[in-house]
Structure 1
Amino acid sequence: MAAERSGTVGKALRVLTLLGEHPGGATAGQVAEDAGYPFSTAYRLLHTLVEEEFATYDPREKRYRLGLRVYQLGRRVAHQRGFEGTAAPILQRLTERTGESSILAVLDGDRFLTVHKVDGPQFRTTTDPGDRGPLHTSAVGKVLLAFSDAPVREELLGRIDLSPRTGHSITDRAELSRQVERIRAQGWAGQQEENDTGMAALGVPVLGPGGRLVAAVALAAPLFRSTLGGLQERLPELRQAAEDLALELPSRP
């Protein structure tokens, strides 16, 4: 029985490794062929990986991709081994050039997941790596929502919880949809006291090959330092950081 369990684990890890070799995703048939497993075995292993969040499945494309659990474990390994991570020096430069806090986040279901942040010299941001937050009130969340693939974007716009965090938060779904269209047209998203009282933030997308969304990077500042209008003056530095991140970060599954 132990040998059987070990064999199953080995096959699952083989499938996981193969998914990593298909950044655009792979069908169950492709995985079965590459692994040399019967289709039923590959399908069962993929289903288990999806259930455990080590993989995701897109029913429209019928493709499987690596899940955020793999990404999160990779970050923990990197932290334990003393690595600052690919994004750390880029965010550090961004904060040094602007004097404001910088944040990197990715889409995690119907929330954003903070991946890394560098605090500004005068204050500490309200999010830490591993934190999850709403899409409709935050600059990074709005960016991730606006620049996600069209089917994902429309599905999220129709179902995400629009509970307010402050009196300035968007709670109207039609208004959020209009704002998302503006964000896509202008290439950035902002918020002022929508997510936290006394705070403003400005975010832009990190886009990989073919314009595929990888992450969102943002600057955040207390209003005594800068309003949203003031942060917009930092768009050149923010966009440069996004370009640098796009070159350094691996494409998201």
Structure 2
Amino acid sequence: MTQSDDQRLGVKSVHLAFEVLEAVAFEPGEIGVSELANKLRTTKGTVFRHLQTLVDRGYLIQNASTQRYRVGARAYLIGRAAAERVDIIAGSQDAMRSLRDETGETVVISSLSNRGNIVMNTLIGKSSLEIGVRVGSVLEPHATAQGKAVLAFDTQGLAKQLRRRGLAGLTPHTVTDIDELERQLEAVRAQGYATAAEEMLLGISALAAPVMDDSGKTVGSIAIVGSIQNIGRQPTPEQIEAVLRAAQRVSWNLGYVGHLPFEPRGGRAPARKAMG
């Protein structure tokens, strides 16, 4: 085996270790070896070795009675330290509450990564039907309003990645043609918001707008998510206005002072010094 082969195996092992940690962390309760192996499409022996290492280092805990696993204190401390440094979470709290109270819908704030949009925080809506999006979920860029809002203004080349790998059809309404997706993204750039009705999950619709930081870079999105009865294929002007206003507010909190892609009737922020 060559050195490059060793390096590839090492990188693959590191990736799997993180996938094991993430799978346990985002599980509502405890999870067993067999379930993890099925979820990650690998062998129980491989998963078990990574689990033992993570337990030894305090990132996971094994329940002695059930032999199942949950997050340990070390992972919690790292997560808390990271959360304190992720400005988009702190900068979106008030805007999320205002948007939820105004629309009654579940509000989702997500952050851009090279894998897509990662859900950073959610605020459940006031409807009798509770619709939630799990924190830590990675949203398909082409099949969600949050993803399209980011793709339209992205400078990291995510759209090129999608063109190379193709667009998976998640429901009969998912856009699977890259040229059609490009046309939708052009519309998002013109209007400043994105929609996705039943594209990721039947019966669920979303409306999102991009969030920008002090450098003018798109760093995520804020969205309302609800049933197709409450957020139609063409959202109401009031819903659009509320989401744009919330995106503007979060962007200002992150130090953004430029022109937003599409400004709500409330206008733009007064000129002020950008926050570092």
What TM-score do you get using the length of structure 2 for normalisation? 0.57
Does residue 137 (structure 1) correspond to residue 137 (structure 2)? The answer is: no
Structure 1 pair 76–232 and aligned structure 2 pair: CA distance change class (3 A)? farther
> Which 10-residue stretch deviates more, 188-197 or 151-160?
151-160
CA–CA separation in structure 1 for the residues paired with 2:174 and 2:182: 14
2:221 aligned partner: 216
CA–CA separation in structure 1 for the residues paired with 2:77 and 2:140: 23
CA–CA separation in structure 2 for the residues paired with 1:140 and 1:128: 14
Structure 1 segments unaligned to the other structure (5+ residues): 1-71
1:226 aligned partner: 231
Residue 142 of structure 2 aligns with an amino acid whose one-letter code is H
Which residue, out of 91, 107, 116, partners 1:111? 116
CA–CA separation in structure 1 for the residues paired with 2:169 and 2:80: 32
Deviation at 1:211, TM superposition (A): 3.0
Describe the superposition over 1:180-199 as per-residue Cα deviations: whole angstroms up to 9, x where unpaired: 11111111110111111111
Does residue 205 (structure 1) correspond to residue 205 (structure 2)? The answer is: no
CA–CA separation in structure 1 for the residues paired with 2:201 and 2:159: 26
Structure 2 segments unaligned to the other structure (5+ residues): 1-75, 257-276
**CA contact under 8 A between 1:110 and 1:160: conserved in structure 2?**
no
Deviation at 1:92, TM superposition (A): 1.2
Does residue 248 (structure 1) correspond to residue 218 (structure 2)? The answer is: no
CA–CA separation in structure 1 for the residues paired with 2:194 and 2:237: 10
Residue 125 of structure 1 aligns with an amino acid whose one-letter code is I
CA–CA separation in structure 2 for the residues paired with 1:105 and 1:93: 17
User: Aligned residue pairs: how many?
Assistant: 176
Instruction: Give 1 or 2: higher helix fraction.
Output: 1
Deviation at 1:110, TM superposition (A): 3.1
Q: RMSD of the alignment, in Å?
A: 2.6
What TM-score do you get using the length of structure 1 for normalisation? 0.62
Percent of counterpart pairs with the same letter?
A: 27
CA–CA separation in structure 2 for the residues paired with 1:176 and 1:220: 20
Does residue 99 (structure 1) correspond to residue 108 (structure 2)? The answer is: no
**CA contact under 8 A between 1:202 and 1:231: conserved in structure 2?**
no
Which residue, out of 85, 92, 100, partners 1:87? 92
CA–CA separation in structure 2 for the residues paired with 1:126 and 1:160: 29
Residue 143 of structure 1 aligns with an amino acid whose one-letter code is A
What SS does structure 2 have at the residue aligned with 1:220?
strand
Does residue 171 (structure 1) correspond to residue 176 (structure 2)? The answer is: yes
Structure 1 pair 112–246 and aligned structure 2 pair: CA distance change class (3 A)? same
Within 5 Å, give how 1:21-36 maps onto structure 2: none
